[in-house]
């Protein structure tokens, strides 16, 4: 991929053009992984905003793989302190820009996750309230703890949801 294509892709996804032009392959590798991970996070955020659960889930494996690769490359770079300290100021600046872009994308992603969670909680609450109302309206016969049969229409109904993932 040439540098112009990378810049065009970066502009389309609001990720700064972070790779290309540097002399340090370790830094270039970290920058490429950071840009890819940031793009995935941004795409995930868009899926959350659009309530596209299939799209959101489709990114899970890719995001985990790229995040692991990024972490591994970053750890290798950090282990080479002399190489990192002697890096060109422009490379260090590009690393900072990559970090800032990823932090911003992650913050937006977290906000979208929180909004989605609130929406799901409101939907769950509404469903539970409707279930309680319906159960309260129905006259249900039941046995008491002493075995007597009685009409249960005036007793409170407990309704709950078990979530397992």
pLDDT, one tens digit per residue, over 34-84 is: 999 999 999 999 999 999 999 999 999 999 999 999 999 999 999 988 888
Question: Is residue 54 in a domain?
Answer: yes
Can you give the pLDDT at residue 96? 96
Can you give the pLDDT at residue 3? 41
Question: Is residue 152 in a domain?
Answer: no
Can you give the pLDDT at residue 134? 80
Question: Is residue 151 in a domain?
Answer: no
Among candidate residues 29, 137, 35, 4, the one with its CA nearest the CA of residue 87: 29
Overall number of domains in the chain: 1
Question: Is residue 145 in a domain?
Answer: no
Question: Is residue 157 in a domain?
Answer: no
Question: Is residue 156 in a domain?
Answer: no
Can you give the pLDDT at residue 158? 58
Can you give the pLDDT at residue 125? 92
Can you give the pLDDT at residue 135? 74
The terminus-to-terminus CA distance of the chain in angstroms comes to: 40
- Where are the alpha helices (H) located in the chain, listed in sequence order? 3-13, 25-49, 53-58, 60-79, 81-85, 89-137
Contacts of 23 (CB under 8 A, 6+ apart): 88, 91
Can you give the pLDDT at residue 94? 95
Question: Is residue 110 in a domain?
Answer: yes
Its domain, for residue 44, covers 3-139
Position with higher pLDDT, 137 vs 24: 24
Question: Is residue 150 in a domain?
Answer: no
Q: pLDDT tens, 103-162?
A: 999 999 999 999 999 999 999 999 988 888 887 776 555 656 676 665 555 555 555 666
């Amino acid at each position: 991929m040439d540098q112009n294509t990378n810049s065009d892709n970066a502009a389309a996804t609001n990720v700064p053009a972070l790779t290309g032009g540097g002399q340090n392959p370790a830094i270039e590798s970290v920058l490429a992984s950071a840009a890819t991970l940031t793009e995935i996070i941004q795409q995930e955020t868009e899926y959350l905003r659009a309530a596209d659960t299939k799209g959101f889930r489709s990114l899970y494996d890719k995001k985990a793989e790229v995040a692991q690769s990024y972490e591994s490359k970053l750890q290798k770079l950090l282990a080479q302190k002399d190489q990192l300290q002697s890096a060109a100021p422009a490379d260090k600046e590009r690393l900072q820009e990559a970090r800032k872009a990823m932090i911003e994308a992650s913050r937006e992603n977290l906000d979208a996750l929180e909004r989605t969670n609130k929406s799901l909680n409101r939907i769950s609450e509404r469903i539970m309230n409707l279930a309680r109302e319906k159960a309260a309206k129905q006259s249900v016969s039941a046995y008491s703890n002493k075995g007597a049969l009685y009409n249960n229409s005036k007793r409170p109904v407990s309704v709950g949801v078990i979530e397992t993932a």
